Amino acid sequence: MNSRRDFLQKLGISALALHLAPLSGWTASKNNVEAPYEGRVLRVAIMGLGSYGTRVAEAMQSCVKAKLVGVISGTPSKIKDWQSKYGIPAKNCYNYENFDSIKNNPDIDAVYVITPNALHHGMVLRVAKAGKHVICEKPMAINAKEGQEMVDACKKANVKLLVGYRMHFEPKTLEVIRMRNSGEFGKILFFQGQCGFKIGDPTQWRLNKQLAGGGSMMDIGIYAINGSRYMTGEDPVWVTAQETKTDPEKFKEGVDETIQFQFGFPSGATASCLSTYNMNNLDRFFLDGEKGFAEMWPSTGYGPIQGRTHKGELTQPVTTHQTVQMEEMAAIVFDNKQPVVPVNGEEAVKDLKIIEAIYQAAKTGSKVVISL
């Protein structure tokens, strides 16, 4: 096992098995057969056929409201493989040079951009100009200015801009949010988010400032940032941060290895978080209130999310995150469904502004005021 990410990926496979297992003992009858879905299906082309693009494609095979119908890639061999595996017609296959012509393809409703971070901005602008809805992986851009330009471009083109915040649809996460909203934790006092793993290949794009826009904060730290917001139900108003770098050869200038950061919220609640590319066994959220607590561990990984509160273990069903995400996003696009926690471009711009404030606080050693 090379990293915790490998472990989480294996857990993801187990999660899918757990999710599907109950179906094997199910017996059809007139009383328990659900009516087949007859609404519109979101027809999606995936841009970027790497490991996460593959994970999304596999998860979409279980969707009823969304369907993989196209691909965009700079690697012809990958396009050929995906065509064969997923039955994608040649007319729905594009490369990075010609995909603007997707505007003339009525069989594609949306493009899911799953490329390195620095490419998101330009690709999303082109997809919006082509008149297609956009789903973009997080972080949505490498800075808030680019992020806002993406939001504005999609609004101008009258297309939806959604971001791959899969945890916003995860059942145990939503149960904790429901409990907080109903006052079961009382006044929220403190949040702790620990996110990290020991990254491998030093030549990968995630360790390239030009492609990633940073280091661990742009990849794994954003989970703690976003998690602090949906777990407390507030946006932070100040941040302090400290950066630690033990391997400057692997983590070059502008590529953060480990950052600890602390938030203050309008209510007086505080948060203490960690983002790292140099430690395993970190994927934990803890929320403390005057009347109770919630702990999630694993809190954001691909494998089964586990958690407990002062009332006992969380028992909501295990799901395949990307399957649920795509089903819900189809409802957002076609039915204007409003999720419990937003997954729109405005939500992503907030996270980008917070990331910029964290970097500034780590660099200056000063408390930085956050204005969202």
Q: In the chain, which stretches have pLDDT less than 50?
A: 1-30
186-237 confidence digits (pLDDT tens) = 999 999 999 999 999 999 999 999 999 999 999 999 999 999 999 999 999 9
Alpha-carbon span 267 to 282, nearest angstrom? 27
**Catalytic site includes residue 230:** no
Q: Single out the catalytic residue among 65, 138, 172, 353.
A: 138
Q: How many helices (H) and strands (E) does the chain have?
A: 11, 15
Q: What is the pLDDT of residue 2?
A: 44
State residue 34's pLDDT score.
73
> For residue 263, what are the contacts with CB-CB under 8 A and spacing of at least 6?
191, 228, 236, 238, 239, 270, 271, 273
Q: In this structure, which amino acid lies at residue 311?
A: K
Contact predicate 130/153, CB 8 Å: no
Residues 310-333 pLDDT 10s:
999 999 999 999 999 999 999 999
Q: Catalytic one among 223, 277, 302, 359?
A: 223
> Whole-model pTM above 0.85?
yes
Tell me if residue 138 is catalytic: yes
What are the distances in angstroms from CA 106 to CA 46, 109, 110, 114, 124? 16, 7, 10, 22, 18
167-317+344-369, which class in CATH?
alpha beta
Domain positions in the chain are 167-317+344-369
pLDDT of residue 33: 65
Assess contact for 359 and 214: CB atoms under 8 A.
yes
Secondary structure of 95-163 in HEC code, one letter for each residue: CCCCHHHHHHCCCCCEEEECCCHHHHHHHHHHHHHCCCEEEECCCCCCCHHHHHHHHHHHHHHCCCEEE
115 contacts: CB under 8 Å, gap ≥ 6: 47, 48, 123, 137
Look at residues 179, 190, 286, 196 and name the one whose alpha carbon lies nearest to residue 234.
190
Rounded to an integer, what distance in angstroms lies between the CA atom of residue 273 and that of residue 222? 10
